[in-house]
């Protein structure tokens, strides 16, 4: 597999790159469209010189053409969350100092006023297509290529800027590690303003010459139907998607359920990431489909850093080891690397995959690096050679009576209870202990369980200081577009009650 290709897109064949509704787009056709779009974007200029071009487009051929067109023309691609509110878009567009925004005609009425206020040209993809491809600039590796906003799980979204070199490194490490080939076929239903969808799925597939089936959103029935038909060889999703697929499976008759399980069983790889995959989910998925989920860890700023092996032991509740070329170390509070296994520390990462900067935010950029290492803000521990993620220092690590507890570890125990469908754990202030553990729980349909029973269940499985002191039953947990629980909202719920 060549690792020096630019743009990261196959060019010269009739192989299908994208399946978009009824359309099948070949690599040759996609490449042609990308060049014409890049030419149209340039509008006679030699180079976009890192102009920020934002796009508000659902997963589809236009999205892919825009992303690659901006890259080819020397701009910075700013893919926006199509589920974002106007206030959020205002923040992204203003922060990135976007000059042109591309959206379908149907969204222009909604975006018009905001663009006028910010002095942004609002355009449709088709009006940017030049009749013919013209000369395109040379792109060197250290040029800025993309700006993706963090979800804001922990703070106001920041624009994470990656270079062409960073993107290449993030893609190529996965091509080898996860065995991508031109024969692969993968569905893409995750939001396309996150590295999971953009890099791990779309970019790896297009580099490898594989086919990507684009869905505007996740729809369990639609995806399951294609899986049952044997359409895919690889599947990548967040844990909540696997939960929804299992729910869907439960509602199918025997024949349909068997076809869906066989569709998954025949795949060469199923991957979970972006949030912790609870051990019970890992086990259920294996029991139903025979697939051993490959869990990995990464973030917007670094792409993927830790992964269970493609060949070898994939351990439930763990994210494996550093990917080749990615340096990972755990650091203690004294800012020193942790030498021995079993000692928790902050994950710090170094390598060509690590982003360049937070856009227009030198202070945040400086604060996030120490001696050349990017400080992720996530805690982990190494157990028998494999990393286990304990969670975000800012919200998942609960300081109680001198102990540091991992919310993820407690959530895993809660989720193992047969009556519990969803669980989220946070720390709440306490005069005696500093913080105590509070759990928010969603019960399974038709199941009932009391707070006392939950305490007893945890008491048998966790040290007493980890047992939730407060238990709240809720109808659902607040989640962002990636399906991650937004824990600051839970904190607010407690303080407002
Ligand atoms: N396998 C995993 N297990 C546990 N946590 C994971 C895993 N993979 C990713 N994460 C979590 O997701 C984070 C990266 O996601 P992303 O870059 O989208 O940021 P976010 O948490 O959604 O938002 P923000 O950076 O704004 O707080 C990681 O820092 C980590 O906390």
Ligand 1 within 6 A of CB of 275: yes
Site to probe by mutation for ligand 1, drawn from 298, 306, 376, 377 as the one with most ligand atoms within 8 Å of Cβ, is 298
Where exactly are the structural domains of the chain? 397-496
Please state which of the ranges 158-172, 209-223, 476-490 shows the lowest mean pLDDT. 476-490
Q: What percent of the chain has pLDDT over 70?
A: 97
Tell me how far the alpha carbon of residue 278 lies from the centroid of ligand 1, in angstroms.
Answer: 15
Distances (CA, A) of 92 to 151, 184, 321, 362: 11, 34, 34, 17
Please say whether the beta carbons of 130 and 35 come within 8 A: no
Site to probe by mutation for ligand 1, drawn from 275, 381, 388, 412 as the one with most ligand atoms within 8 Å of Cβ, is 275
Ligand 1 within 6 A of CB of 346: no
Other CB atoms within a 10 A radius of the CB of residue 455 amount to 14
- For residue 1, what pLDDT is reported? 44
User: Span 316-323, mean pLDDT?
Assistant: 98
Give yes or no for residue 347 having a pLDDT over 90.
Answer: yes
Tell me how far the alpha carbon of residue 302 lies from the centroid of ligand 1, in angstroms.
Answer: 11
Report the C-alpha gap between 350 and 375 in whole angstroms: 9
Among residues 273, 229, 268, 242, which one has the least CA distance to residue 19? 229
Average pLDDT of the chain is: 94
Question: Which 8-state DSSP code applies to residue 200?
Answer: I
Distances (CA, A) of 390 to 4, 11, 310, 406: 36, 42, 23, 5
Each residue's pLDDT tens digit, 136-175 = 999 999 999 999 998 776 667 899 999 999 999 999 999 9
User: Span 225-253, mean pLDDT?
Assistant: 96
Tokens 């993030």 correspond to 170
Tell me how far the alpha carbon of residue 299 lies from the centroid of ligand 1, in angstroms.
Answer: 5
Report the C-alpha gap between 302 and 423 in whole angstroms: 28
Tell me how far the alpha carbon of residue 377 lies from the centroid of ligand 1, in angstroms.
Answer: 10
Helix/strand/coil for 136: coil
Ligand 1 within 6 A of CB of 240: no
Q: 397-496: what CATH class?
A: alpha beta
Ligand 1 within 6 A of CB of 376: yes
Residues 6+ apart with CB under 8 A from 69: 33, 34, 35, 37, 38, 40, 41, 128
- Nearest Cα residue to atom 21 of ligand 1: 153
Q: What's the start-to-end Cα distance of the chain, in Å?
A: 56
Find how far residue 485's CA is from the centre of its chain.
Answer: 13
Each residue's pLDDT tens digit, 409-468 = 999 999 999 999 999 999 999 988 899 999 999 999 999 999 999 999 999 999 999 999
């Amino acid at each position: 597999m060549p690792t020096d290709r630019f743009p990261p897109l196959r060019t010269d064949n009739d192989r299908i790159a994208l399946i978009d509704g009824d359309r099948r787009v070949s690599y040759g056709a996609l490449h042609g469209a990308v060049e014409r779009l890049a030419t149209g974007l340039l509008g006679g200029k030699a180079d976009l010189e890192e102009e920020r071009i934002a796009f508000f487009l659902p997963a589809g051929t236009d999205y892919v053409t825009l992303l690659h067109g901006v890259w080819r023309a020397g701009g910075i691609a700013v893919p926006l969350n199509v589920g974002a509110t106007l206030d959020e878009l205002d923040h992204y567009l203003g922060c990135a100092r976007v000059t042109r925004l591309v959206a379908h005609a149907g969204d222009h009425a909604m975006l018009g006023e905001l663009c006028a206020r910010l002095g942004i040209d609002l355009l449709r993809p088709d009006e940017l297509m030049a009749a013919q491809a013209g000369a395109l600039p040379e792109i060197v590796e250290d040029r800025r290529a993309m700006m993706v906003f963090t979800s804001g799980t922990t703070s106001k979204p920041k624009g994470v800027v990656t270079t062409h070199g960073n993107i290449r490194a993030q893609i190529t490490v996965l091509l080898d590690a996860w065995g991508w080939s031109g024969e692969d076929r993968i569905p893409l239903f995750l939001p396309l303003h996150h590295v999971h969808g953009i890099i791990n799925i779309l970019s790896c597939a297009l580099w490898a010459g594989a086919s990507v089936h684009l869905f505007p959103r996740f729809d369990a029935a639609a995806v399951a139907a294609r899986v049952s038909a044997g359409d895919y060889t690889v599947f990548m999703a967040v844990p909540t998607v696997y939960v929804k697929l299992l729910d869907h499976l439960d509602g199918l008759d025997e024949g349909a359920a068997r076809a869906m399980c066989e569709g998954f069983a025949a795949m060469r790889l199923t991957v979970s990431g972006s949030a912790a995959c609870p051990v019970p989910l890992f086990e259920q998925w294996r029991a139903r489909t025979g697939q051993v989920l490959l869990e990995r860890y990464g973030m917007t700023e670094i792409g993927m850093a830790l992964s269970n092996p493609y060949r070898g032991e994939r351990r439930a509740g763990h994210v494996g080891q550093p990917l080749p070329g990615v340096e990972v170390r755990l650091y203690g509070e004294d800012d020193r690397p942790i030498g021995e296994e079993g000692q928790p520390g902050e994950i710090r990462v170094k390598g060509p995959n690590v982003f360049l900067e937070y856009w227009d935010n030198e202070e945040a950029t400086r604060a996030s690096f120490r001696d050349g290492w990017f400080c992720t803000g996530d805690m982990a521990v190494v157990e028998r050679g494999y990393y286990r993620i304990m969670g975000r220092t800012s919200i998942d690590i609960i300081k109680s009576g001198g102990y540091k507890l991992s919310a993820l570890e407690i959530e895993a125990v809660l989720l193992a209870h047969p009556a519990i469908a969803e669980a989220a754990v946070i720390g709440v202030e306490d005069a005696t202990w500093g913080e105590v553990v509070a759990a928010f729980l969603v019960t399974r349909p038709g199941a009932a369980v009391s707070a006392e029973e939950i305490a007893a269940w945890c008491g048998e499985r966790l040290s007493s200081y980890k047992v939730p002191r407060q238990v709240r039953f809720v109808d659902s947990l607040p989640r962002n577009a990636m399906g991650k629980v937004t824990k600051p909202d839970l904190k607010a719920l407690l303080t407002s009650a």
